[in-house]
Structure 1
Amino acid sequence: MRLTDKIAIVTGGARGIGRATAELFAEEGATVVVADLSVDTPLADGIEFVEHDVTDEESWRRLVAGVVERHGRVDVLFNNAGTVGSYEPIDTIDPELWKRIVDINLNGCFYGVRQVVPVMRENGGGSIVNTSSIWGIAGAAGVSAYTASKAAVRSLSKNVALSYVGDGIRCNSIHPGIIDTPMIEAQDAGVTAGIVDITPMKRLGTPREIANGVLFLASDESSYMTGAELVIDGGYTAQ
């Protein structure tokens, strides 16, 4: 029980990597609050659901205040909500779509950190895990807003780690490769096949494989890690 008595918030937790992580956190003893726009199928027993928009700072205030009111603190924040949104390059993407993608992927993390840092500081520390991507490390043609926002999440995580290390707050980023999630199912099959083809393991990863990495970063087992990048990508970025 690696998260016994921990209070954890998981954004984008209704499906995919977020859901797998929320379920694993609960299995490992945490009290888990899933924050998402909606939930399609019931979550496991004991996991709370809160309707939440990561791009709305007031929604973040209500979320964190509600968790503190019910449970007294926040020990873990998994900033996981995100979107690909567009595969367009810079010269053709609609600027409003660019802003929307950046708002979800980057500003969602920014607002989350702003709200949990005072709570974690007051309670002696905590762990923040931000979802970046292999494309926050390696380049990719097109996909302009996604790659820019995920690279920014990588850098933001290091800034948070260094800014709040004295408060006992750790922050690390996780960098999944191509994972079998509803977001990937919705994209063009040819795009998916192309990425799998250049992944050395030649397969999609599973949400649980990513969740295992997030669990490590959330738990006290990673107590000497902050500002680090955990890459789980079937070898993609090793090339």
Structure 2
Amino acid sequence: MVCINLWHKIGTCVSCFLLSVSCLLPQQSLAQDSMTAPKQIEQAFTQLLSEELGQWQQQAGLTQLDSAIEIKLPSGAKRLELCPSKVSIDAGSGIPLGNVQRKVSCDAQGWSLYVRASVSVSVKIPVANRVLKRGEHILAADIDWKVVKLRPSDRDLVTGLDEIVGRQVVRKVRRYQAIKAVQLSAPQWVNIGDRVIIEARSNGFYANMPGEALEGGGEGVAIRVRNLSSGKVISAYPIAKGRVETQF
């Protein structure tokens, strides 16, 4: 009786185990069968765009980024065979914003097609709290941090406060909109007629002398300056407010 009961219990356990396995196998098979080429493309493209946005967020030092990605597959995608390996997607340039199109390929199946996506992104960035007109120098008091929904044209936006404060506006900056690099220039360190300090450096040698600016300019732009000690007109580069440097 002991042996019979023992075999009965073992048999019951084995039967339950086999029943459990038989119940799981069809579900796994159905999950694999439900994957199609369109779903495969959609998942891979979504993942790639999310990764690109994440990389940009890290590089730009953004603390907050929210995105919504909608994949738009062409009708021909329905007729494609599932790719047995990972699909290949062309890399993009810049931030993926607005309407994005990439080439998706499967070498194993010999197919490729262009797939579009609609990418909506909102980020917390420094923005002007008032309209900034051309020629103005931006102060820290002119800037607030706001969550802004980006437009496709905002790909060259400026995300660092140190890249904004002290700069001069060359194209009008609208209130609470992303500030683009093309809207700013280097600050105008020197104006025509300013008295400046001319600095000269070469192989450990350093000297400075008084001068007068004959032109106005900012960082990286050569201007004409009169050396008040010698009366000579030289070319120099503004490096700070009221200071220029000659380059040998």
> Normalised by the shorter chain, which TM-score bucket?
under 0.3
Q: Which has the higher helix share?
A: 1
Q: Structure 2 length normalisation: TM-score?
A: 0.20
Q: Structure 1 length normalisation: TM-score?
A: 0.21
Highest RCO, 1 vs 2 (Cα 8 Å, sep ≥ 6): 1
